[in-house]
Amino acid sequence: MISIKHSAVLESLRHKKPLVHHITNYVTVNDCANITLSIGASPVMSHAWEEVEEMVSHADALVLNIGTLDHYQEKSMLLAGHAANSRDIPVIVDPVGTGATRYRTDFMSRLIGELQISVIKGNAGEIGTLAGADARVRGVDAGNVRGDLITIAQDFALETGISIAISGAMDIVSDGSKVLIVENGHSMMGRISGTGCMATSIIGSFAAVHRDMAEASAISLAAFGIAGERAAACCSAPGSFKTALFDHLALLTPEELARNAKIRTA
């Protein structure tokens, strides 16, 4: 359960319709745009060097996703990130595939070093790699991590000043002082591509209207998880499930979020 106060963030989001600027990967860009619309925010998918700084000047949050990283995107992300920092809007980063290659891992280290990042949302292997834990990542899969994930998330958040969200069967969110556990979701969410990317877009949407980044992340993951649970209840195949996932997120009310969210402190 979460409080009505926190679930009201969803009502605020839908009233304000924040603009969420994405520089994301081309595999899931359409899904990220549509999931942002489903939750009630407005997406813009802009990556050209010539306009990213200007586009950020209109945005309420910036989402950076390195899933199909290249040298062009590197420059775009850094330009947009610095512009977002100058405007004090949240920067949400999805370190897709970090740990699988040195290129991705090195660029993530550069982003952390050069930008003021609000949230990093990744799977256990990605976050474990960034935190210096013994982690193994294969492609963009979750991989394996030795050590307690709650401790890893909390210590990494304390070290960097960034709220950390580890997605999985049980989501873990920490800003260094508090740890929130989210237990919503369904295994069907792992049978379609892009749910991790979509979750980051939802976090960007909530972060645009709620300044406690750990709370915004936990509420986002709960809302997405509830939509997944409801979609799985009516659909048993990936294609129909994906459509239902968008529908149930769009239909989710603040009251239903408060009643069905499984968020607890660790």
Q: Please, what sign has the CA dihedral across residues 103, 44, 13, 83? A: positive
Whether the CB-CB separation of 258 and 3 falls below 8 Å is answered with yes
pLDDT along the chain (266 residues), means of 10: 74 97 96 98 97 98 97 97 98 95 96 98 94 65 70 95 95 97 95 96 98 96 98 95 98 95 93
CA–CA dist 147, 137 (Å, integer):
15
In the chain, the domains with their CATH numbers are 4-265 (3.40.1190.20)
Residue corresponding to tokens 């290659």: 101
CA–CA dist 102, 14 (Å, integer):
40
> Which residues are 263's β-sheet partners?
182
Let me know the angle formed at the C-alpha of 43 by 224 and 22, rounded to the nearest 5 degrees: 90
Nearest to 253 by CA among 35, 10, 37: 10
Whether the CB-CB separation of 204 and 92 falls below 8 Å is answered with yes
CA atoms within 13 A on the CB side of 57: 4
For the whole model, what pTM was predicted? 0.94
Q: Pairing mode, if any, of strands 163-167 and 119-123? A: parallel
In the DSSP assignment, the letter for residue 98 is: B
Per-residue pLDDT at 188: 95
